[in-house]
Amino acid sequence: MYRGGKCILAPMVRVGGLPFRLTCLEYGADLVFAEEIIAQRLLDTTRVDNPDLGTTDFLDENGSVCFRTCEAEKDKMVFQMGVSDPDVAVRAAKIIEPYVAGIDVNMGCPKSYSIKGNMGAALLTQPDLIKDILTALVKSCSKPITAKIRILPEEEATLSLCRVIESTGVAALTVHGRTASTRSSAPCNYDMVTKIKKELSIPIILNGASLDIMCRGDMEKVMERTGVDGIMIARAAWQNPGVFSTDPIPAKTAAETFLKRCIDFECPLNILKYTIGKLRALFSSPDGCLQVTKHIEPRLIYKHFGLAEYYDKVTAGRSTKIQDEFQKSKRQKLGDGHILLKEELTPTILQTFRSRVAPRQILNQWLIANGFSNPTFSTVENNKIFTGVLTIDNDTYVVEGDFKNKRTATQAVAYAYCMRNHIELRHYKTGPKTNR
């Protein structure tokens, strides 16, 4: 599975979701690693089959998608988990292994959330814990187990750690050729990875070479130079998912394919915006990205790229049954008599109106001008997720959404009311800043 010069998509938080993975597979990636999911978070999910999308979804208690996959990637997708406990690792692996080709443990992420949880790069100095986690997974799982690390500052310490990992029976080891403190702009340490390859007998995958890669041929050159069994790339693929192809694929063509997969599989709005921010081939000027990502409605983003008709065709008739089930607990706490406002909203709504007139102010002005009484705003909390509640005269309105603070929830319900009643907002989003 990991030998023979594999070209692999690296796990990327927020980017490596199902639409991006499928796009990379379409253009020739041999394997794709999913974005890291914390093992404990997976344990708290509910698995559901999504017939509209043809996917298997793992939803958290608020109905948000924690992880989504489909049959098309089953034999080429590796699930990566963040974990610091062998028992938790095995329990999470048992949940996910029927739907993946392999399971990987992240032992190299230097981000603070991983370090604080004793995960990622925090494990690099704990070889005994690494051994316990990987040994437990290898013994308990039917799918290949792998690990992904970064090199340590000292050569012998790095080689010693790699030997410990090999002794657990893992199927392969991915090595990022930088230390946890080395910036991504620094060159990849090919010499150290070459030494690891010579020291170990299991397949070695090199990660961290994106600075030297523009096409698949470049990947093959790096593999020939280092002797590794495969190469894993992140930033080079983010800039052009077509980089895996044996034939040159324009970055814009690959990016447009990605946008279609986003429509096909309901890419969350915040993920869509974040990802296209690096797909520079989509924009003719530096300001082009900002003009697109300012939109709150997904359709307006897709319309910018000429995909409004495709969006309408694909999304027509999609059911909301699954999400409706997970919203029941919220509705029960709200009681009867409220009017449900259904608009596609995300917490990024406040970013759109930052330093400009916000939806609550716009709504207040409109209601006063049209003879209504002053509105009142409140929130209902459920498992640290807030629902915005708007009362106007004797009518109460709520909006569904996973909002993490009261301010965002109340702005969201104001925005949804404005959209429902065709209260103009657009000129506030693109107009000059105000001191109000």
Looking at the annotation, which residues are catalytic? 109
324, HSE (Cβ side, Cα atoms, 13 Å) = 6
* Beta strand extents in 346-419 (DSSP E only): 376-382, 385-392, 395-403
| Tokens linked to 419 | 């959209």
**141 closest CA partner among 205, 95, 76, 81:** 95
Contact 339, 398 (CB under 8 A): yes
| Tokens linked to 91 | 């329990």
The span from the CA of 81 to the CA of 107, in Å, is 9
Contacts of 255 (CB under 8 A, 6+ apart): 240, 241, 276, 279, 281, 282
> How far, rounded to the nearest angstrom, does the alpha carbon of residue 219 sit from its chain's CA centroid?
25
**242 closest CA partner among 2, 16, 1, 9:** 9
The span from the CA of 244 to the CA of 214, in Å, is 9
Contact 110, 150 (CB under 8 A): yes
Contact 420, 341 (CB under 8 A): yes
